Amino acid sequence: MATPDLIYLTIDDGSSTKREETIRVSAEMQLEEVRSAFYAAANLSSSSTNSVLKLYRKDGVLLPIGPNTPRNSKEDRYILKSRTGNEGVDALNAVSDLLGQITAIKEKVDAMKRSISEVPDGHGAKHNPDELTPPNLLARRRPTLPSLPPQRTFTRDVTEHLKHPTFDVWQWQDDEMVDLLAHMFTELGLMTEFKLDEETLRRFLQCVKGSYNTNPFHNFRHCFCVAQMMYGILHVTNLHAQLQPLEKLVLLISCIGHDLDHPGFNNAYQVNASTELGLIYNDISPLENHHAAVLFTILKESDTNILRSLPANDYREARKQIIACVLATDMAKHGELMGRFKAGAEREGGYDMTDPAARSLLLQMVIKCADISNEVRPKHVSEPWVDNLLEEFFAQSDREKAEGLPFAPFMDRQKVTKASAQVGFIQFVLIPLFELVAKVLPNMEEPIIQPIRSALQYYKTLA
């Protein structure tokens, strides 16, 4: 069992020998105090400017270093990789890239194993997974689910805090996040409204969890973050009282499935490298189209189809709206969506909630906000996400350079710092987006927009 406040480590400093360390970390400690403890465990000075520490689970998932780093046990030690100097940084990045390649190879092997057997399509007929469209890409969506883990219950304090943007997403293990997502379905009244079967819902969520890859950023915890922030926005602004049950169902499912099977490389890479996804979707939002396709492939299976009780008309409407919401998370559509929403937000007489198209656009704006909302959260929760995103960006630009492809300056490890990346993003993307949505939704200033402005000042100071 994990011991409160104790974190068990295996130190990997690049030498042939590994050693074990145990450190004590409490939630009351400051971020720098915790980092000092990790540096001390690695026999490094926290003031060193050319030292790099990365904390990994055994399965290769990158973890945040901070007061709320998940506690573990002696049997499940984390790997703390430490390197110094430029060569050390390059070596650590090489290790991370190699780990990602090994994970990708394992996933492909698993997919080939699953493709040997026929897969039911949810309507009694059977076909070979190689005949699925897109070819070979959706066969990975069925992780083995031998049995459901015991369902967890949560205190009232937890379920109430879940409704707020300050909820600490780093405190929870994957299966706990599954049950917190299930709670959202119950609290929003969706279980009774749509006659959702509890076991089917939990199998759906477990299958979703298994269909997210172990990327530094675009992983299942990010999926949970987006769903939780959407849920928080609904309650902070009281939007949940204005939405129809089907709209709430659409929003929650869209958030849960919005990055399914994300490969860790963005649309620009898919297009420039002529990947299978880029070719299948003709360079048009290849990732978002793939996420939606994987989501509905999961929903097609009888044991994970939480939409099976919907009348045909409701299902068609839900599917149309879910696809629109997932596609709206493509930042290439950001300017277009902002322009359309601005016209509605500044309409004489106010935003027209009687117009189905306007309501659909509002759902898309809410998921857009939730998708890039980490800076709304307290700094100790939000800052590790910046590290994880840069880790993913740098790995992509490294590959693009190696393959002779164009690469974005904001992904170049030689040019980008955490502070410079965040100042521009917060100032020119986050604040305009949230301020525009606040023209339609009430009560966003103090709980949502003020934390973003504080984050901007923090990163300006850091710069």
**Catalytic residue chosen out of the listed positions 218, 222, 235, 240:** 218
| Three-class DSSP category at 368 | helix
> Which residues is 82 bridged to in the sheet?
53
Structure tokens at 99: 């780990």
Cβ atoms 452, 431 nearer than 8 A = yes
Query: Which DSSP state fits 449?
Result: I
**Whole-number Å distance between alpha carbons of 282 and 412:** 27
Active site residue 290: no
> Which residues is 8 bridged to in the sheet?
22
| Three-class DSSP category at 460 | helix
Q: What are phi and psi of 138, to 5 degrees?
A: -100, -5
**Whole-number Å distance between alpha carbons of 382 and 376:** 8
Give the Å distances, CA to CA, from 229 to 2, 9, 368. 28, 31, 11
Structure tokens at 231: 């849920």
Provide CB contacts within 8 A for 375, sequence distance 6+: 382, 422, 426, 430, 451, 452, 455, 456
Element (H, E) at 275: none
**Whole-number Å distance between alpha carbons of 431 and 447:** 14
Cβ atoms 432, 424 nearer than 8 A = no
> Which residues is 6 bridged to in the sheet?
24
**Residues with a known catalytic role:** 218
